[in-house]
Amino acid sequence: MVELLLVVGVLISMFVAYNIGGSTTGPAFGPAVGSDAISKTAAAALMGVFFFLGAWTIGRNVVTKLGSELVTNPGIFTLESSIAVLFFIGIALFVGNVFGVPASTSMTAVGAIAGLALAGGVLDFAVMGEIVIWWGVSPIIGFWVALIIGRYFYARLNRLVAIDRSSGPLLVVDRSGAIPVPRLHETTNRKELGGTVTVIAIGCLMAFSSGTSNIANAVAPLVGSGELAMNPAIILGGVAVAIGAFTIARRTLDTMGSDITELPLTAAIVVASISSTLVVFLSVLGIPASFVIIATVSIIGLGWGRATRTVTLPDAVRDDKTPPVTVDALAADEAGEPVPPIGEEDADRIPQGGELFDPATTARVVLMQNVVPAIATVGAYLTFRYVPVFGF
């Protein structure tokens, strides 16, 4: 019977990881696929490799935090309770998908485990408080970094990384010598190569950061129960993520259905870089981070910074003392249009903070980001508290 429950637990764990692979490949490699810098198959392969690297190196810190440190008695993770926790994670994420909102897998997993721990009276409130504090601080950091970049550096970055694809392939293989050597195609310029490498590298960084944080959401309950060792759990989770990347992720890569990949390429790179760096930093501390929330708030910061960018220093010291200006952030920079004076912008093109975010959509995302983990927390607590089979 125990062996059957373990098989069921492993299958549910891999199903959660499978969905993680399907939902995170699009945001990670959507810009690269959308700009024809990489194929869907190559994106899936890179996703699998870099997710596993992140999980194997830093991700075990987060697995330990959720599987043992968040509870004062890891014995509460029986096979039955671990399967139930994974079930609540899956159901809560399904609710988010129904409403079209990319739910935070990390917050949902922490909520489900916290519900279990509360029901059993073994929740470590100090560790939970540490996690919640970082959940509040990290989006604020992302917001201000994105705002500063948007206000002062975005235009220069856009000129550096913008990709104007040539008609031919990026690289060709020179077989004239004894050893085949890849070389730039005659139609490829170095700026195109640099932009392509940059957007692929950012995708790899996002995949790595996803592995550092999200692997715990799929395997921490089973590792905490002691029924599955850390290394086999990470390998199984990594395999399931790769399967998801090669299968259901192809649809997300087609539609680019996330807040990150709907952005212009330069903005997507900025937001992804900020979010991934913060997620990796938190994972080193063992904190399960919400990439989606950090990215959403960073989008708002970038949009706000671009929409409120003021006149540059050379303009400020002109003799005619013209008023300072604000820019229709991304549109003016990318289209090469002149900067309009304050009060003369096209109102339709600057909807409350620039073209990077819509207030109604943002409110819906923020609301669901809190509702989905709450569903997991309350559902887990009520089940473990009042269903006799769990014995709490």
Looking at residue 113, its pLDDT comes to 93
CA–CA gap between residue 261 and residue 257 (Å, rounded)? 7
Amino acid sitting at position 343? G
Q: What is the pLDDT of residues 172-192, one digit of tens each?
A: 666 777 777 666 666 556 666
Measured distance CA(40)–CA(249) in Å, rounded:
9
Whether 385 and 378 have beta carbons less than 8 Å apart is answered as no
**Sequence letter at residue 309:** R
In angstroms, what CA-CA distances link 12 with 46, 89, 223, 384? 24, 10, 14, 19
pLDDT of residue 179: 79
**Structure confidence at residue 121 (pLDDT):** 92
Q: How far apart are CA 142 and CA 145, in angstroms?
A: 5
- What is the number of domains present in the chain? 1
Residue 102 lies in a domain: yes
Model pLDDT, residue 163? 61
Q: Are 305 and 148 in contact (CB under 8 A)?
A: yes
Angle subtended at Cα 145 by Cα 160 and Cα 213, rounded to the nearest 5 degrees: 100
Instruction: Say what the pLDDT of residue 103 is.
Output: 66
Q: What is the pLDDT of residue 391?
A: 57
Residue 52: the pLDDT is 97
Measured CA to CA in angstroms, residue 70 lies from 64, 113, 176, 298, 344 at distances of: 9, 8, 60, 28, 54
Q: What gap in Å lies between CA 168 and CA 184, rounded to an integer?
A: 10
The answer to whether the Cα torsion of 20, 26, 27, 33 is positive or negative is positive
Cα 350 from Cα 23, distance rounded (Å): 30
At 238, is the secondary structure helix, strand, or coil?
helix
What stretches of the chain adopt beta strand conformation (E)? 171-174, 181-184
| 318, part of any domain | no
Cα three-residue angle 199-60-11, rounded to 5 degrees: 90
Q: Transcribe 121-169 into DSSP letters.
A: T-B-HHHHHHHHHHHHHHHHHHHHHHHHHHHHTHHHHHHHH-----SS-
Residues of the chain below pLDDT 70: 1-2, 35, 93-103, 161-174, 181-192, 252, 254-263, 309-366, 368, 388-392
* pLDDT value of residue 91: 76
pLDDT, position 88: 82
Strand, coil or helix: 227 = coil
pLDDT at 66: 92
CA 140 to chain centre: 16
The counts of H helices and E strands in the chain are 15, 2
Residues 67 and 233: their CA atoms lie apart, in Å, by 12
Asked if residue 357 is part of any domain, the answer here is: yes
User: How confident is the model at residue 186, as a pLDDT?
Assistant: 61
Assigned token pair, 364: 């819906």
| Residue 337 lies inside a defined structural domain of this protein | no
- 315 in a domain, yes or no? no
DSSP state of 183: E
Q: Domain for residue 141, yes or no? A: yes
Has residue 121 been placed in a domain?
yes
What local confidence, expressed as pLDDT, does residue 336 receive? 47
Range of the domain at 24: 2-308+353-390
In a domain, 22, yes or no: yes
Q: Using alpha carbons, list the distances in angstroms from residue 186 to 170, 175, 183.
A: 9, 15, 9
Match 């975005």 to its residue by tokens.
Answer: 154
Q: What is the pLDDT of residue 358?
A: 57
Task: Say what the pTM is.
Answer: 0.79
